[in-house]
Structure formats: structure tokens, C-alpha cells
Structure 1
Amino acid sequence: MRNSTCGLQPSLATTVALPVIYSFLFIAGSFGNILTAWVFSRQASTKRTQYIYLVNLVTANLLVCSTMPFLAGYFAKGNEWTYGSEVCRVAYHLGTIVMHVCMYVTITMLCTIALSQYATLKKNNDTQYSQTVTKNLYRNVLQKFRQPKFAKYFCIFIWLVVLCITVAAITYDARARREQIFHTCYNMKVEIGEYTSKIAASFATACFFLSFLTVLLSYYSLSRHLSKIQKNTHIGQKHLIYKTVKRNILVIQIILTVCFLPYHIFRPIFYVLLPEDDCSRINYLVEIKNFLTCLCVSRCSIDPVITFLLDKTFKKSLYSLCKKSTPEHHQRRADIFTEETPPI
């Protein structure tokens, strides 16, 4: 493998800062997502499409959070563990592999939520909007994202793909460990990967940019339509939903841009810039990659905060549960989890 003779020497930023950050994100993310799941389970209807996507998003967030202790341990002690040790295998399998796979589940769910929110508007649209979006596109694609049955099957398909990828990656890694020997767990193979892992990373990067452009196109199309109807008609109560959905899609776009875009821009550049013999430069590039990965993971911890700040329905439901209100009041709150104003 290229650069296999170069030993990685992590700096204090890797051995101290990253474990501290991951530990903090684990506590904050676990608490926030468990609280979010509790509110959804008590207040939202399981038959609503948006609820299905959000539950799967929270599930993916919790799985990513569960990998953070392993990542913290790997960066803190990975340079001391032997490559063939059980603790190294557990940290790599349950940390790096599961974290990356579930990270792309969250990206997929964010894109799906944006499409679902965008498709929601068709339900309340007028003839003018029907001219903006191709009818065949809506009938064949967009409306599917509003159907609970499709949402369930789609999420099941995503998790089956995740399971297959995870099992294949762990099996391949276990076989590769028999052929190559490294002194430490924190090494070139894990941090840079071989040909197969680079191909997988390239495919994942392409999938991210597809999701990114899909959300961007949805926001652009919605903005254009909202601008037209603002010029031609008065925005009444019926059209307030446009602004809410536009805001929600914008928030998803910002999350993808701030948390995920830097990593996916740097990842192909990372492989191009890797030198043949400059170990110091390799260490520097690897640490940049690891901090950008941490930025991606941080989204799972800030997502509940964004939901609480932007979604009034979620906030009111949380307050009502904390005050131990009556069952009738709970049911009334559950009824306001509508498709028209779904949470982030």
C-alpha cells in the first residue's frame, strides 16, 4: 500500500482535543436525541409520513452517538494499541465503520425530509404552481415521499443497505488484517485506506453531492415559486405554509453546507495531495480529515437543538409533557403534528 512505511504520529490535537470533543458530543447528542425520540413517541402519529422519516433520522443520530465513545478511545489510545488487538478491532468496527455508514443514513434522511416537505406543497397548490413543477415528475416521484407506506419501505431499504455495507466492510477488514501487520491501531491503512475503501469513499462522496444538489434545487424551485405568487397574489393564511417549508428546507441546506460539505470537498483533495514520502505532511492531512469528520458527526448533537428552537409544535409538546398534562391535552397536541408544518 502506498505510504505504508510511514508511521503516523498523532499530535495533541488528535490525542486530546478530539477525544474531549467526541465525549462532549456523545453526552449532548445522546440526551438531545433520546429526548426528541421520547417527545415524538408520545405526541406524534405513527401514520404520518414525516414522523416516519424523523424517527429514522433520530435512530441514525443515536447510532452515530453510540460510536463516539469508541472514536474517543481510538484517538486517545489508538497510537498505543496494537493493530491486531481486540480493542482495536472493536474501536475500528463500532467506531469508524458504523459511524461513517450511519452518517450517510442521516444525509439520506435529511434529503428525504426536504423532498417530503417540498412535495407537501402540492397538496395545497393552485394551478400556477402546477405549471412550475412537471406533473409527471410529481406523480411518479414526489408524491411517493408523502405516502406512509412508501416511507416505511424506503427506510427499511436504507437500513438493509446499511446492514449489508457494514457486514461487508467488517468482513473485508477482518480478512485484510490477516495479510498485513501494523504495529499500532492508528496507522495508514485505517486513516487513509486501500483501493477498495477509496472507491467506497468516492461513491459516498458522489451520493452526498447528489443529495446536496437535490435539496438545493428544491429550495431554489420553491423560492422562485414563492417569489412569483408574492408578486401576483396576496399571501394569506393558506400560503403561510410556503414560508415554513422554505425555512425548513433552508435549514437542511445550511446543515449540509456547514457540517458535511467541507469534509466531502476535502476528501478527494486529501487523496490527491497525499505525498509519497513526506510523513509530516501526511500526518497533517490526516488530522485535518479527522477534524472535518468530527464536524460531520457534530450534526447529530445539534439537530435536537435546531428542532427545539425552530419548531413551535415540538416546543409546546415538550412543555406539555414536562408539565404532566392530562391525556386529553396530550391528544390535542398530537393532532397538531401535521404534514403542513412538519418539524425539522
Structure 2
Amino acid sequence: MSNNSTCIQPSMTSSIALPIIYIFLCITGLFGNSLSQWVFLTKIGKKTSTHIYLVHLVTANLLVCSAMPFMGIYFLKGFQWEYRSTQCRVVNFLGTLSMHVSMFVSLLILSWIAISRYATLVKTDSLPETTSCYEKIFYGRLLKKFRQPNFAKKLCIYIWGVVLGIIIPVIIYYSAVEATEGEEILCYNRKMELGAMISQIAGLIGTAFIGFSFLVVLTSYYSFASYLRKIRTCTSIVEKDLTYSSVRKHLLVIQILLLVCFLPYSIFKPIFYVLQQNNNCKQLNYLIEIKNILTCLASARSSTDPIIFLLLDKTFKKTLYNLFTKSDTTDIRPYG
């Protein structure tokens, strides 16, 4: 047995707790997101840009949840499988890789939802006369596109295309080169947990996407708050206060989700790659343990979206209520 195989040892958290958590998140996530997707596709009349983003977000969530059982099986049985076995390859591609790709797509779509919600209310015809020409161009041309359903469709397709275009070469390279190198015997080993050079670079790029998404949501929230202060000094918006408050709440919740679920993961990942170069087995096992827990936390966001829809969106809640009470609903609009 190689030194890497004997050095990396799964703990009780990895081999028992993580499989249970992943299975629970998978069951709740698949049920909630499938129900959400059915509502968005069949029970919503007018197709808005926000609706398009939500459909693709739920699709990404479903892919993340579908990969969770493979992750659970890997942590449960990975230390018993051979490294080059079919089971090990399957859980690596359908578990780790699929889940991370889908998480990155959902993050980007969350960013577009935040911009879309901001753009829906910030319009050039409601801007005060003191607004600069630059701001009018920004609000009237750039943000206007995020309110257009056709632009939303193209943007989401572009996201999927770019991510798959980046990840497919990584898969091919890993299968042809990285997976055939080394003397690892067991599936749960240092290479699987740390990745080789190309895999680590791809991981850092994905981490950069997380930081970008958080920055976009943060900017959208504070830009909206700044806009709201500006327009309140110029006009009365009493009738729209509830709408503005709802949008601000949605942006804040997206921001909190990214802060709680993804920020710890994105901060720790670069630190992990630096510290893992140490050959101290005890420290390496602790680092891997923390990484796996934070990855699980990041993936949990995909299972919580239906709960967020239910708590924050009155029309989504009303739709579900009407479904369970066998009432007919027509022309339901998501997110206000």
C-alpha cells in the first residue's frame, strides 16, 4: 500500500455523517426542486426574465442534488474500493465533478437573478432629473437587457455552454493523464481529495467564480439601497414601498445564502491548496475533513432554494396552496 493510501484516513465524520447528510439533502432537494420546477414550468402564465433565471437555477439545483448520492457512497465505501475501479470512476465524475459544475452554474444564475431584480425596479423613467448621463445609460441600456426574457434565455444557455466548454477538456485530461498516474491503490486517497495540478487550477477558477458571484450580489444590493435613498429624496414612493422592500429582502437573502454557504468554502479552498503541501499526515487529514464539510455546506444551498421560494415569495406560496386545495390558478408571476 502506498504512503498516500496509509496517510489519508477517513474519520467517522467522513464515513458516516457525510453520507447521511448527503442522502437527506438529496431527498429533500429533489422533492422541493422538482415541485418548484413543475410550478414554474406549468403554473406560471407570463414568462418573465426572472422566471427564466429561476427555471435554470432549479435545473442546476436538481443536478447538484442528483450528484449527492454518489458523494455519499464515495465517503461510505471509497476507502474499500480500488482506485482504478469502475465504482471509483463513476463517483468521481457523476459525484464530485457534476456537483461542482452545477454549483458554479447555480451561483452565476443567482448573480443574474440579483441583477434582474435590481433592474426590474430601477428604470430610466423613474430616475430623478439629477441623475447623470452615465447612470441613465447604465440603467437604460445595460440593466434593461436583464429584464428581457430573450436575453435571459441566451445568457443562461451561454453560462451552461461556457462552463461545459471549460470542464469537458478537464475531464478528458483527467481521464487520459491524471487518473493513470501515481501508485494509489484505494479510491479514497490523496489525489482524489487534493487533485493534481490541472484539477487544482480548475478548482481555483471555480473559487474565483464564487467570489465574483458574491461581489455581484453585494453590489446589486447596495446599489439598490443607494438608488432607493436617492429616489426617496426626490419623490414619494409610498405605494411602491412594499415592492421595494420585497426586492431588497430577496437580494439580502441571496447575499446571506452566499455568505453562509459559499464564502467559507471559497476562502478555505486557496488556503487548503497552500497548506496541503505539508507532508504532515495528521494536519492533512484535518484539512481534508474541513474541505469536505465546507463542500457539503456549499451544496446544501441547492436543497434550500424551495424553502426560500416558499418563505419569501407570496405568489409561489399561493400557487402551492391552490394546488393542494385543488384550486385553479392562472397567470402567476414569480418573485413579485
Cα distance in 2 for residues equivalent to 1:88 and 1:70: 10
Q: 1:148 corresponds to which residue?
A: 149
Find out whether 1:104 has 2:104 as its counterpart.
yes
In the alignment, residue 154 of structure 2 is paired with which amino acid? Answer: Y
Cα distance in 1 for residues equivalent to 2:315 and 2:30: 22
Cα distance in 2 for residues equivalent to 1:163 and 1:143: 28
TM-score normalised per structure 1:
0.91
Q: CA deviation at 1:274?
A: 2.1
Residues 124, 313 of structure 1: CA spacing in aligned structure 2 closer, same or farther, 3 A cutoff?
Answer: farther
Find out whether 1:259 has 2:255 as its counterpart.
no
Which stretches of structure 1, 4 residues or more, deviate above 6 A after TM superposition? none
In the alignment, residue 198 of structure 1 is paired with which amino acid? Answer: Q
Partner SS state of residue 274, structure 2 = helix
Q: 1:337 corresponds to which residue?
A: 333
Partner SS state of residue 134, structure 1 = helix
Where do 5+ consecutive residues of structure 2 fail to align? none
In the alignment, residue 149 of structure 2 is paired with which amino acid? Answer: P
Verify the 8 A CA contact 1:129 1:225 in the aligned structure 2: no
RMSD between aligned alpha carbons? 2.0
In the alignment, residue 169 of structure 1 is paired with which amino acid? Answer: V
Verify the 8 A CA contact 2:170 2:198 in the aligned structure 1: no
Q: 1:84 corresponds to which residue?
A: 84
Cα distance in 2 for residues equivalent to 1:93 and 1:164: 16
Shifted more, 111-120 versus 127-136: the winner is 127-136
Cα distance in 1 for residues equivalent to 2:298 and 2:53: 20
Q: 1:163 corresponds to which residue?
A: 164
- Deviations along 1:168-191, one digit per CA (max 9) or x if unpaired, are 232122112223331111111111
Q: Could you tell me the percent identity over the aligned residues?
A: 50
Shifted more, 156-165 versus 119-128: the winner is 119-128
1:234-273 mapped onto 2 (5 Å cutoff): 234-273=236-275
Cα distance in 2 for residues equivalent to 1:82 and 1:153: 43
Partner SS state of residue 81, structure 1 = coil
Cα distance in 2 for residues equivalent to 1:129 and 1:188: 61
- Deviations along 1:111-150, one digit per CA (max 9) or x if unpaired, are 0000000110124852328827722223442111111111
- Deviations along 1:258-283, one digit per CA (max 9) or x if unpaired, are 11000000111112222432011101
Cα distance in 2 for residues equivalent to 1:312 and 1:155: 25
Q: 2:52 corresponds to which residue?
A: 52
Q: CA deviation at 1:228?
A: 3.8
Shifted more, 39-48 versus 121-130: the winner is 121-130
In the alignment, residue 325 of structure 1 is paired with which amino acid? Answer: S
Q: 1:295 corresponds to which residue?
A: 297
Cα distance in 2 for residues equivalent to 1:90 and 1:283: 24
Q: 2:214 corresponds to which residue?
A: 212
Q: CA deviation at 1:304?
A: 0.5
Verify the 8 A CA contact 1:8 1:187 in the aligned structure 2: yes
Cα distance in 2 for residues equivalent to 1:185 and 1:46: 49
1:30-45 mapped onto 2 (5 Å cutoff): 30-45=30-45
In the alignment, residue 172 of structure 1 is paired with which amino acid? Answer: Y
Cα distance in 1 for residues equivalent to 2:70 and 2:90: 8
Shifted more, 159-168 versus 186-195: the winner is 159-168
Q: 1:66 corresponds to which residue?
A: 66
Q: CA deviation at 1:155?
A: 1.0
- Deviations along 1:318-342, one digit per CA (max 9) or x if unpaired, are 111122224xxx22xx2x406xxx2
Find out whether 1:136 has 2:132 as its counterpart.
no
- Deviations along 1:291-344, one digit per CA (max 9) or x if unpaired, are 000000000111101110111110001111122224xxx22xx2x406xxx26x
Shifted more, 4-13 versus 294-303: the winner is 4-13
Q: 1:323 corresponds to which residue?
A: 325
Partner SS state of residue 183, structure 2 = coil
In the alignment, residue 293 of structure 1 is paired with which amino acid? Answer: T
- Deviations along 1:22-77, one digit per CA (max 9) or x if unpaired, are 01000110111011111112221363111110000000000000001100000011
Partner SS state of residue 95, structure 1 = helix
Verify the 8 A CA contact 2:124 2:140 in the aligned structure 1: no
Aligned residues between the structures: 332
Shifted more, 172-181 versus 246-255: the winner is 172-181
- Deviations along 1:203-232, one digit per CA (max 9) or x if unpaired, are 222222122111111111111222344455
Matching residue within 308, 311, 323 for 1:309: 311
Partner SS state of residue 84, structure 2 = coil
Cα distance in 2 for residues equivalent to 1:112 and 1:244: 17
Verify the 8 A CA contact 1:98 1:166 in the aligned structure 2: no
Cα distance in 2 for residues equivalent to 1:53 and 1:122: 18
In the alignment, residue 93 of structure 2 is paired with which amino acid? Answer: H
Q: 1:191 corresponds to which residue?
A: 193
Residues 314, 275 of structure 1: CA spacing in aligned structure 2 closer, same or farther, 3 A cutoff?
Answer: same
TM-score normalised per structure 2:
0.93
Cα distance in 2 for residues equivalent to 1:168 and 1:213: 28
